[in-house]
């Protein structure tokens, strides 16, 4: 015979974790801006969000309808390369887009463009809304909640976090925003709740 003792106290996650989960839920949702006309030479791994070789200005105008809007365009500066244009913070952000069986703008791969955009919007939103809160987290002993077993790891975590806060404008020579992956990597290790268990 086995005796089970039930604890009536409901589990309460750490306050910082609840707050970041709340932010994740508040993040803008992806809104695909579809191309109404047929585009020649559209890569088979892109859908109606692909608009061909349009300018940054045209993309900006198409995306101005709502936060979270996105589309894919072929770069005019470097034909044959593709750019994910994403509306966040009332401005259009451009990210160099790659595909090797999965979609990515850095090291992290996604099965679909929708998943990539969802992840990016959450990361950008948390970075914007929780910068001060995340900064406080590096001071408090929260490491047991993110897989750290000793406070000796604190200096390493503090050293890693400024990648998010102290980056330059994140633009490469072609004017593309290359900073998203660094922010994704930072937030996935600590704050991005869907993937905070991933060790980077």
Is position 144 within any domain?
yes
- Token pair 């306050």 is at which residue? 15
Domain that holds residue 62: 15-190
Is position 4 within any domain?
no
Q: Which residue from 91, 99, 46, 41 is spatially nearest to 71, judged by alpha carbons?
A: 46
List the CATH number of the domain containing 82.
3.30.505.10
Written as six digits, the tokens of 43 are 């890569």
Give Cβ neighbours of residue 166 (< 8 Å, ≥ 6 apart).
none
pLDDT tens profile 35-71: 988 888 899 999 999 999 999 999 999 999 999 999 9
Is position 146 within any domain?
yes
Is position 8 within any domain?
no
Phi and psi torsions of 176, nearest 5°: -85, 150
Mean pLDDT of 88-115: 95
Is position 2 within any domain?
no
Is position 10 within any domain?
no
Average pLDDT over the chain, rounded to whole?
Answer: 74
Phi-psi category of residue 54: left, alpha or beta, with phi > 0 → left and psi -120 to 50 → alpha = beta
| β strands within 50-90, DSSP E | 69-74, 82-88
Total structural domains in the chain? 1
Task: Give bridge partners of residue 122 from the DSSP assignment.
Answer: none
pLDDT tens profile 123-176: 999 888 877 776 776 665 544 444 444 334 444 444 444 333 334 445 555 555
The pTM of this model reads 0.61
């Amino acid at each position: 015979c086995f005796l089970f003792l039930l604890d009536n106290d409901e589990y309460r996650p750490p306050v910082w974790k609840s707050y970041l989960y709340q932010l994740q839920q508040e993040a803008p949702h992806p809104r695909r801006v579809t191309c109404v006309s047929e585009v020649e030479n559209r890569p088979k791994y892109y859908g109606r969000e692909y608009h061909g070789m349009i300018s940054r200005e045209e993309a900006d105008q198409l995306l101005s309808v709502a936060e979270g809007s996105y589309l894919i365009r072929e770069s005019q500066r470097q034909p044959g390369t593709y750019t994910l244009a994403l509306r966040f913070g009332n401005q259009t952000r451009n990210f160099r887009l790659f595909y090797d069986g999965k979609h990515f703008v850095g090291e992290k791969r996604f099965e679909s463009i929708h998943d990539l955009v969802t992840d990016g919007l959450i990361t950008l939103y948390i970075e914007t809304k929780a910068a001060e809160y995340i900064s406080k987290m590096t001071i408090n002993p929260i490491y047991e909640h993110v897989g750290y077993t000793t406070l000796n790891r604190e200096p390493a975590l503090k050293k890693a976090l400024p990648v998010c806060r102290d980056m330059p404008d994140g633009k490469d020579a072609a004017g593309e925003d290359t900073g998203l992956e660094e922010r994704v990597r930072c937030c996935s290790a600590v704050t991005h709740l869907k993937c905070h268990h991933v060790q980077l």
